[in-house]
Structure 1
């Protein structure tokens, strides 16, 4: 098609002309630049996970409504679905807005946010709201939020920024600095108590050290210290000991223990077989505690089958693989570490949740990213995904290679 014919075609279709002007190759608007640079495959994976999460919450909402209804107070069957839909509407602009930030602005935003939420995390054991024996939330009016959920992506970016200085000077003490900060976060989390989040922070830190090129001798030493920390947690930390004991030595007569929850989750997960009972057909889910949060993966298995569970697992795997493939030729140490850390956080949290639901790991009270119900959690995840999209943005007309970056227009 000639240029004259193309121009005539655009004039004949005003909608197409507006789209071409805002997101086309020659677009110069902020939206056009963002759409040109963003990893659209990564964005699509995130949107698919959110959409599947809404379907999963819709399936779990009736069971949760029945469990939390009492006396004259009857919770509508789809109440949790509508609340989650509202949180998704509020969270999506957060993800898009953060993803539009330049890498430098996103880094500064994350550093400032990490400082704020670290202070809030340290204040949680003192001023937090206690729910089910844990003090992990801070009350704000009629709702609560969990500072550790917001701190995770922000702290990962801050840790990546500190470790990136090693590329300029290998002698800088970046390992002890980041290790001390991670240990501080871990100690505060153990006071809440929140053993699962402690594992996430520690594991991501070790992953970032490996990517940063820390020597194998130091990594072996840290691995030994980590194993010793788990043993110490079992000996001195009641929450860890109870959960490990109930997992390794379950009491078949106990009810509403961690063993009961994981056993029931496994039963719900496999009740639907390969294809599931169909939407609304699940019945065992009504016996499952926290069906809309920690054990929503089991609800998906009952109503939509093991095929749907496998599809969700593959989406998380695709997210992590996509990020690492995109980072293969990344030359900026900070962007490499930040994006890799954020991807590992999402993948590891999903892996732990699935392991608990399938009965191969003890209960940790950890939700499935983008799938489980939760307002502040959805906003925090959208914030982290927005940072991940911001740090993986690329100009498509620049070709990267080991010999530098060149224009490919």
Structure 2
């Protein structure tokens, strides 16, 4: 009875339409990973349902995280985000010494038999922590900008060591959006973007895999641009209505069809109409969240939420842009749809915190009004 009342109160206070939209994305993930997994698993000697069964577990745990974090009020979200950020930062340091290499980058570490990518979890916690620190600028004398810059610089160095330029670009964009909303002088935001541009140029000349990806993007007919050419062909063959579930061939050719290029699978098997629906769901979530914080007076909620919204929306844009050859290739998943343990769980945490920050003022769990 108590649990039923708690669930009812949670449902009344939460953004119900956004929760339904997230549920639609989860349904798409189950459908697309299922149609893709057998082909990918067969090529590397695994059982047909290896990826689909693991993704079901990832989505289930991610949904639990989403509900759990959305049940908290802003003070507990802030506290957990600080602890999560410190833990993720520590793990990011350990990756340098104990991580293992995949495709030329050391971003993963094994814990208790599971692979873990600390930078995925760092993203949402960093957005909330910087949102909190930037909100303190309204307290006279607190050097919020300087503190945030130091944190950002530390995170940037640790991510570049891996290296993961795409992740750094995403985190930089999130941080810049928060600076803009916080009302910092536009000159500092321009400096941040110039620094980002300089970083990309430096990465182009210093990191061979970045050089290759940008060159392939600028020369789409290159023989090395195999994945992109297959991705574009998948959309062409899918047409308006698609070839039907399981009938596509792109998953037989792309090693990352269940992760980075799952949108191409959707285009070939379900057609342009379903792809437009997926884009529409992402757009709805972003716009809906922006509307929820439009009149928010609490600076912490406003700044943390804008960081989480930017992260969610921009990650989706990057993934789909790469698949359509609108952006250089970057190993970034499509939120809640692509296969991936760390990615799915981190997105569950991110949207859970976003739902918790944007819900109605009557909290599911009552806490004292003390702050961190």
Q: TM-score range by the shorter chain?
A: over 0.9
Match of 1:44 among 14, 20, 30: 20
Pick from 93, 112, 117 the counterpart of residue 88 of structure 2: 117
Q: Find the counterpart in structure 2 of residue 72 from structure 1.
A: none
Q: Which residue matches 1:394? A: 360
- Confirm or deny that 1:31 pairs with 2:7: yes
TM-score by length of 1: 0.84
Tell me by how many angstroms 1:58 deviates.
1.1
1:145-170: CA deviation from partner (whole Å, max 9, x where unpaired): 1001111101110010110012333x
Give me the whole-angstrom Cα distance separating, in 2, the residues matched to 1:273 and 1:104.
49
CA displacement, residues 120-143 of structure 1 (integer Å, 9 cap, x when unaligned): 112212110222222111102332
Shift of 1:379: 1.3
CA contact (8 A) 1:59 1:300 kept: no
**1:359-389 deviation line (CA, Å, top 9, x unaligned):** 1111111111100001222111111111111
Give the structure 1 partner of residue 367 of structure 2. Answer: none
Whether the 8 Å CA contact 1:59–1:303 is kept in 2: the answer is no
Q: Distance in 2 between matches of 1:253 and 1:129?
A: 29
Classify 1:47/1:236 alpha carbon distance in 2 versus 1 (closer, same or farther; 3 Å): same
Structure 2 CA distance for aligned equivalents of residues 97 and 176 of structure 1: 33
Unaligned runs of 5+ in 2: 364-372
Contact kept in structure 1, 2:33 and 2:51, CA below 8 Å: yes
Supply the distance in 2 between the matched residues of 1:97 and 1:220 (Cα, whole angstroms).
38
2:72 alignment counterpart: 101
Alignment of 1:39-78 (within 5 A): 39-69=15-45, 75-78=46-49
Does the 8 Å CA contact 2:231/2:250 hold for their aligned counterparts? no
What are the within-5 Å matches in structure 2 for residues 76-225 of structure 1? 76-169=47-140, 172-225=142-195
Contact map agreement 1:160 1:337 (CA 8 A) in 2: yes
Query: In the TM superposition, what are the counterparts of 1:154-303 in structure 2 within 5 Å?
Result: 154-169=125-140, 172-250=142-220, 252-254=222-224, 259-303=225-269
Q: Which deviations, in whole Å up to 9, do the C-alpha atoms of 1:293-313 show, x marking residues without a partner?
A: 011010010100011111111
Larger radius of gyration: 1
CA distance in 2, matches of 1:156, 1:168: 20
Change in Cα spacing, 1:250 to 1:39, as seen in structure 2 (3 Å) is closer
Secondary structure, in 3 states, of the residue corresponding to 2:109? strand
Secondary structure of 1:373's aligned partner:
coil
The whole-number CA distance in structure 2 between the counterparts of 1:253 and 1:31 is 55
d(CA) in 2 for partners of 1:186, 1:266: 33
CA distance in 1, matches of 2:160, 2:123: 15
Distance 1:32 1:395 in 2: 15
Whose RCO is larger (CA < 8 A, sep 6+)?
2
Cα-to-partner distance string for 1:302-333 (whole Å, 9 max, x where unaligned): 10001111111111111110011011110100
Superposition TM-score, scaled by structure 2 size: 0.93
Q: CA deviation at 1:85?
A: 1.1
Shift, 1:251, TM fit = 6.2
- Unmatched 5+ residue regions in structure 1? 1-17, 24-28, 70-74, 398-409
CA distance in 2, matches of 1:178, 1:67: 45
Query: Residue 62 of structure 1 contacts residue 78 of structure 1 at CA under 8 Å; is this kept in 2?
Result: yes
Change (3 A) 1:274 1:250: closer
SS of aligned partner of 1:217: helix
> 1:13 corresponds to which residue?
none
- What is the CA distance between 1:250 and its match in structure 2? 4.9
Residue 3 of structure 1: aligned partner: none
1:179 positional shift:
2.0
- Aligned to 1:101, the other structure's residue is in SS state coil
Instruction: Report the CA distance between 1:22 and its aligned residue.
Output: 7.3
Residues 216 and 222, structure 2, Cα contact 8 Å, conserved in 1: no
Query: What's the counterpart of residue 370 of structure 2?
Result: none
